[in-house]
Structure formats: structure tokens, C-alpha cells
Structure 1
Amino acid sequence: MARADFYLIDKPRFREEPLLLVCELARKAFDANLYTLVLARDGAQAEALDDLLWSFDPDAYIPHQIAGSDDDEDEAVVLIAAPGSDAALRPLVINLRDAAVEGTFDRVLEVVPADPAARAPLRERWKHYQSRGFDVKKHDM
């Protein structure tokens, strides 16, 4: 059964820099040897995440790259896709966009903003994944 996990940003360090949570999720995926696709909201967010994955932890190296920037993207455990790139879905998808992820994958991680006003679209996504038969869970981060 496919899973959808919603990570609610709560801790101050994630409130200040939400992409740090994405880095932590990517590290867990890498440690579990899960090929991951991060669906970035836009090109600027993709670049920011790319930079942060290099620097967020001096002891962690997570092979990653932005989709379309290299021919060897199959080698990168974490692939970051800006809208408009034609990156294929992977078993694990971290979704930073407004729309639910469509297609075939094992698990999706949805990062929920700290601002309650920004959470309305996520309620719709929760219902969407439930209607598709996903096992849906919430995690306070």
C-alpha cells in the first residue's frame, strides 16, 4: 500500500529555514538507500535546496543534483526537479508544490508550512491521497 506522510513544520530551526527539514528527509532517504525525487516549487527553490544539501551538515554527503543539469542524473540518489523538467517519478517523492503528486510511487512526503493560513491546500491533498487508498500519516517536526 502506498503511503503519504505529512510533516508539519513546528520546531524553530525548521520555521526559520523550511528547506532544512527537506534536507533531513533526504538524508533519511539516502541512509535507507531510497532513490528520491524532490518536486521543488520553482527554479529558485531547486537552486536553494541544491546549495543547502551541500552545506547543512558537514558530516553528511548526499549525492544529489537538479534534473536536467547533467546526463548522469540516474546516479544521483536525490534528484531535485523544478516545474517543467521531465524527471520521472521515483519510489519516494518529497513534494514542495501546491498540487498532489499524480502517478505511481511508493511513498510521498508532504512538507506542511508553519503558517496555518498556508495549510488549506494540504487538507485537500490529504483527502486526495486518502481517496486513492494511501495510508496517510501526520508527523510534527
Structure 2
Amino acid sequence: MRADFYLIAKPRFRDEPLLLVCELAKKALAAGQPMLVLARDMAQAEQLDDLMWSFDPDAYVPHQIAGAGFDDEGDDGGEDEADVLIAPPEADVPLRPLVLNLRDAAVEGAFQRVLEVVPADESARGPLRERWTQYKARGLDLKKYDM
């Protein structure tokens, strides 16, 4: 298992941190890896959903908010088929091998790789340092990238 921490440095990601999430989702799709994005709340899930449609005019990243695709018969509309599944806290969805975590706590459970986005604001980095320590204690291979 591996944890990758992406430290926001570039101005375009400082101004809109969710753009980095979109870029990471696009890379995962190109590598053929379905991704689960754990959104902090429904508002963030909806913001990310909107941004996925517009962040790159030449890219299409199939995505869906978990629980948002119900049709009149109660079918989930292929939710498990979405390459990028955005899960607000109230959505009970299984982890995928690749998880991008935007929540305040470390991801528990079975996954192969977790991505953590580290804010540019130094004062907001404390919880991420704590997560680094938690993942290290669990034996995950840790990597850090400046974005």
C-alpha cells in the first residue's frame, strides 16, 4: 500500500485546489485506474462534479457523485461503472484500489494507493502531517510531490 502526498505550490492550484484533483483523476483515467474521491461534504462533491466538466476542454473524465444517479425505478444508473466516483460522507461506497482523500481523517480500510492533497496554506498542513505519521505507522510506502 502506498500514500502519495501532493503539495500545492503552483499558482493555478493555489487559486483552485480542486483543479489538482481533476488533473489527478485525468491521469488515473489515462492509466486505466478507476478512482474513488472522498469529498469533504456534498458541497465540495458538487463543486468537483462541476469542475470535472470544464477544467480541460480537450478531456472527458467520466465521473459521478455517489448516490446521485438514481432513475425512476431506483436503479443506480451504473454508479459502479463511473471511472471517477465522487463520494460525499453520507454515501456508503466501497473503497477502490485508488482513493483520493479530501476528508479530514486518514483513509481506513483496504486500498492499494491513497492520494492526499496538501493545501498551500502552511496553517492548514497540520492535519496532513498527522496523516503522514498515521500512514507511516501502518507501514504504507510514502511519497511526496510538489505540484
Q: Flag whether TM exceeds 0.5 (same fold).
A: yes
Show the counterpart of 2:58: 59
Percentage of pairs with the same residue = 74
Show the counterpart of 1:48: 47
Q: How many residues align?
A: 140
Aligned-pair distance for 1:84? 1.3
State how far apart, in whole Å, the 2-side matches of 1:82 and 1:23 are. Answer: 16
State how far apart, in whole Å, the 2-side matches of 1:48 and 1:6 are. Answer: 22
Q: With structure 1 as the length reference, what TM-score do the two structures score? A: 0.98
Show the counterpart of 1:33: 32
- Rg comparison, structure with higher value: 2
Match runs of 1:1-141 below 5 Å: 2-70=1-69, 71=76, 72-141=78-147
- Cα deviation 1:37-68 (Å, max 9, x = unaligned): 00011111000000000110111001100000
The AA in structure 2 aligned to 1:83 is P
State how far apart, in whole Å, the 2-side matches of 1:24 and 1:124 are. Answer: 25
Q: With structure 2 as the length reference, what TM-score do the two structures score? A: 0.94
How large is the Cα RMSD of the aligned pairs?
Answer: 0.5
Unaligned runs of 5+ in 2: 70-75
Aligned-pair distance for 1:75? 1.1
State how far apart, in whole Å, the 1-side matches of 2:32 and 2:50 are. Answer: 21
Aligned-pair distance for 1:35? 1.0
